[in-house]
A and B are shown apart, each in its own frame.
Chain A
């Protein structure tokens, strides 16, 4: 029989409870002053005092920020951003003051130059919540777990390192990231996801459930955890009640930068308003009023003491800004449409690449507030207001076609949002570039030659639309299929559709997950529009403000959107099948064997005689019976 060896030497972080591991606790007074070492220490002291005065190296820093934004569909967005940074130093991975030791050891051990890990529950609503701002391009993530990493290693070592990394991360974050270890689960995109030299690995687990057990280790990386500062707002029942929840960890590391760790948590919440206010909203489309207490059930009482800066932003969308500007009033914190509950410390105007004016930020410094005077910033609406968020150039969605357990096709559809008209008044012969990146598991065998493209209902040849295509075909039980495709759509296109046919493969009985009948998930595809940048600029702020959140918003990033996760039902076998097959085959064999044996030792002549004999006996019995009957009848009559 085949020897199954399961269980890889997983490198798991061990939870360590000292009281549990050592049953003996003793006090041992160190009797008397310790004499030894004193000479040396005197010398050392002099030496270090001299050394300390020589250089004042860069320090590890921590900042915390929170951005709140009302959304058009009566919800509110909260985006937490924590940045820890460690300067480049020899002691990285060994001696730390603020930066989490576990992360720096991870970076050092696996030679990571970039890494992003996100845990998401729910799907970002690109139509309602925006598709053209830094929030949606950087913080809208596909459901489940997404992990990508760029390694600073020779190409031959990357796959092995990735495997170890997934195990370490799954231990660190209490998640099943180790399922990304298998070569069928990750891919190496070259340009469709992020331009790289083959040192990037990408993997996604669409079905991973995200809950507090993932948040707790994430919070452990913050110096104050959720004991103080902005993270103390993370009241679990509130944040997990939301419509969208995405917890992200992004690492950047280089010789010159050191390590920068960005931890973000993006949640979309329904403000938990009291019923009286909801009554009020019945007349007219008045937005719900909310404050921090409504959203999180908490107020902010001061900053995390070790953080360099601690700020709360309230962002007001372009839609609202336009409305307010139209009405002629200025955008102070108290205007005729809304009023903020606290007067902000600062007001920042934001711009995006195409527009002059895009959004307003009201800044509050959390260090001005204390336990006695907590910050509970909120927004109260005075007039009903309807606005929309700027969408991405095309609304991308993906769905399955076909029926049965044999074959089907994947369709990607693009619906124009007519953004280019708003932006540039569009000459009719212009075109918009779109990049599609899609990873398909091997058991969905996509026939890439069957790619068909329809633009506004009419079929186009591939060469008309596709500029560049890079396909890594799937290999059974070895490689997932990866598709990277650069498309060029005409500006006038209203709807475009791409279809790809696929066959459904068969899995080995051991490869089915426990809930195989639920179907199999195909991870989200990523659609990006390289000609559109979602970067904001804040011309009025001085760079000394040092807000990592706004820095991230200013970074040049292309507009991206993730499509839906697809659920493919595959033929699921009867899982008791192997035993059934064994039993059935054995029964047939046993029958055959038995009858063969019987046939071999059969004595036909003897049997015939026996048969005859029985016939004779029967005859005898008949005779006897008839005689008896006759006698009986005779006696009777």
Chain B
């Protein structure tokens, strides 16, 4: 065997170049029994190693380029700004600074000096500290004016300016009636104030011959107290009126209402459609029609105008037929009609038969509030709602938050023989329609979180509220604006936060530039709203907050977000795997093999060098 091994032994290293392939490979074969490693006499070449390494390297270098070129388009969302806004809103919820101006109209000529006004001011401030604060109202600055026959003095400590003009109103003006006095006060206070900050005025009119105290809350931003009162009593009344009504809308602790976690019934794009429907449950008994376009529009337009900073309101009406209710009522002889108990009300709205369609003006994410007049059929007429305590509801109506309201209207000929009226078309009289709309305005107030009407026994003295033709008084609107701005800002923030966390959690999601732009605009509007809130400009803050929310929702519900499924990671792999898996396998294996071989050959060469050294 040794011979054979010797036969094929030494190929001399080729003279030309370092051609590695020729592999100078001195085999001093081990077949004879010696286990010496094979030796090589030349340095192992690196050409192939460099080649495979460069291929591998180019692959590694190309990888980031590939990833970059196949990257999907993601508009950068200003997540820092969003967290910043969240931080600001959580640490310091928007609060609207407002002012309280107390005016004492004294009938007796009195020496009114600065010390008196300062004292009064301090006691009112102290009084306000005691009363529960509201979430939306910021710090209250107080000022006092004492006006008497002797003169007029104002506290100068704070910069609250209600525009009170001394001498325009006297206690003698009270005889003209509350509504007119209200307007008189309004003009005395000067309606056009520029700074936008809300100043509420409580006027204490001292009348000697009055038997007690009486409070009247006007429809603008003022109230007045009439009667003979000592300072302590007057201060406590001022504090109460301000905190209870001007700040909280008369809603007690524990009562549901504005600012108590309820949502505003306003679509996220700031539009609301009030859809009024007259439902004839069974036209074979009687058919009623109404003149809504004339009376309804005229009555509701002031309301629409008043609520404009909060919502763009459209009014629509229709008459529907064959719309039975879907809950059962039972006949109660004692109450003289059919009675629907409170437990049946959740089933009253018959969504199968009542085609209270949405409207084309309620596109996108706007809200439709349904107001339904239900005319019972002859069989179930008259139909009354029974309260839990057994009494009948006086308005015969109920609301469903965020949906609207229902009113059961029993036609006047209800108790008559139904056959006599068979098939005739009648009209609701204007008087009745107006009463109906009055109830609906009350329901709208409730839906917006205000009280439908105020109880006069809330205060411990007779209280009167001057009503506004708008349905909402100015101080109520302030309250709504404040609350609306806050809730919209929070909702806008929630939406933006969800959007940014969604985008972060789905790395393969396409984010269009438009979404990024909408988010930026929304943040901008939110910042404006916040800025206006700190200045106390509640209506403009409400407008900006609505805009911020609408833009945030637009970004969140952008149709391009749907395209996520078209750029999934599976898709990506399915396209690139068939090429890169086999090719990279080849490259890697080649590189590893070459490296191994190079190492082995080098070991042989170094062994050869070592043996050379020892032999020499």
Contact = CB atoms under 8 A, between A and B. Distances in A.
B394 A94 contact: no
A25 interface: yes
Contacts of A353: none
Contacts of A49: 430
B469 interface: yes
B23 to A, nearest CB: 5
Given A3-B567, A106-B360, A9 B434 contact: no
A94 B315 CA distance: 7
Contacts of A601: 48, 51-52, 590, 594
Interface in B189-223: none
Given A18-B400, A37-B471, A601-B590, A51 B560 contact: no
B8 interface: yes
A590 to B, nearest CB: 4
B139 interface: no
Interface in A19-37: 19-22, 24-37
Contacts of B465: 35-36
Contacts of B322: 224-225, 227-228
B405 to A, nearest CB: 9
B494 interface: no
Contacts of A7: 559, 562
A160 interface: no
A4 B566 contact: yes
B325 to A, nearest CB: 12
B387 A27 contact: yes
B317 A94 contact: yes
Given A6-B562, A101-B359, A224-B321, A31 B453 contact: yes
B370 interface: yes
A95 B453 contact: no
A5 B430 contact: no
B597 to A, nearest CB: 9
A306 B441 contact: no
A586 B425 CA distance: 78
Interface in B557-594: 559-560, 562-563, 566-567, 571-572, 574-575, 578-579, 581-583, 586-587, 590, 594
A21 B240 CA distance: 39
Contacts of A585: 579
Given A16-B358, A29-B387, A101-B318, A45 B431 contact: yes
Contacts of B320: 223
B293 A28 contact: no
Interface string B469-501: 101000000000000000000000000000000
B153 interface: no
B589 to A, nearest CB: 9
A32 to B, nearest CB: 6
Interface residues of B, number: 111
Nearest to B559: A7
A106 B579 CA distance: 54
A577 interface: no
Contact of A27 (B283, B289, B345, B359): B345
Contacts of A34: 438-439, 441-442, 452-453
A32 B587 contact: no
Contacts of B425: 305-306
Interface string B447-459: 0000011010000
A49 to B, nearest CB: 6
A96 to B, nearest CB: 5
A132 to B, nearest CB: 39
Given A95-B293, A96-B319, A30 B359 contact: no
Contacts of B415: none
B504 interface: no
Contact of B401 (A24, A32, A225, A593): A24
A609 interface: yes
Contacts of A22: 400-403
A44 B299 contact: yes
B452 A3 contact: no
B442 A605 contact: no
Given A29-B393, A228-B283, A579 B574 contact: yes
Nearest to A51: B294
A605 B321 contact: no
Interface in A578-608: 579, 582-583, 585-587, 589-591, 593-594, 597-598, 600-606
Contacts of A45: 430-431, 434
B575 A16 contact: no
Interface string A543-587: 000000000000000000000000000000000000100110111
Contacts of A224: 283, 321-322
B399 interface: yes
Main secondary structure of the interface of B (DSSP, over half): mixed
Interface stretch (B349-357, B374-382, B607-615): B349-357
Interface string A99-118: 00110011001000000000
Contact of A31 (B347, B385, B452, B510): B452
Given A27-B342, A45-B430, A306 B287 contact: yes
Given A6-B562, A29-B395, A36-B453, A613 B8 contact: yes
Contacts of A52: 291, 294, 430
B23 A26 contact: no
Nearest to B361: A105
A605 B21 contact: yes
A637 interface: no
A21 B403 contact: yes
Contacts of B52: 597, 600-601
B158 interface: no
B291 A306 contact: no
B368 interface: yes
Interface string A596-635: 0110111111100100110010011000000000000000
A13 interface: yes
Given A13-B357, A45-B430, A600-B51, A25 B400 contact: yes
Contact of A9 (B356, B559, B587): B559
A605 B316 contact: no
Given A33-B394, A600-B48, A620-B1, A24 B587 contact: no
Contacts of B397: 30
Contacts of B314: 94
A20 B441 contact: no
Contacts of A1: 70, 72, 567, 571-572
B363 A11 contact: yes
B284 interface: yes
Given A102-B360, A603-B23, 17 more contacts: A3-B567, A9-B559, A13-B357, A16-B368, A34-B438, A35-B465, A36-B465, A45-B430, A45-B434, A95-B318, A96-B319, A97-B289, A220-B357, A585-B579, A590-B586, A603-B21, A620-B1
26 contacts: A3-B512, A5-B512, A6-B563, A6-B566, A11-B363, A14-B358, A19-B346, A21-B402, A29-B393, A30-B394, A30-B395, A38-B467, A39-B179, A44-B295, A44-B434, A45-B434, A95-B292, A102-B357, A105-B359, A579-B574, A586-B578, A594-B583, A600-B52, A603-B23, A603-B48, A609-B11
The 8 A-B residue pairs whose C-beta atoms are closest, nearest first, are A36-B467, A586-B578, A586-B579, A603-B21, A590-B582, A227-B322, A95-B293, A105-B360
Interface of B: 1, 4, 7-8, 11, 19-23, 25, 48, 51-52, 55, 70, 72-73, 179, 283-284, 287, 289, 291-299, 314-322, 342, 345-347, 349, 351, 355-361, 363-364, 368, 370, 385, 387, 393-395, 397-404, 423, 425, 430-431, 434, 438-439, 441-443, 446, 452-453, 455, 465, 467-469, 471, 510, 512, 559-560, 562-563, 566-567, 571-572, 574-575, 578-579, 581-583, 586-587, 590, 594
Interface of A: 1, 3-9, 11, 13-14, 16-22, 24-41, 44-45, 48-49, 51-52, 89, 91, 94-98, 101-102, 105-106, 109, 168, 220, 223-225, 227-228, 302, 304-306, 579, 582-583, 585-587, 589-591, 593-594, 597-598, 600-606, 609, 612-613, 616, 619-620
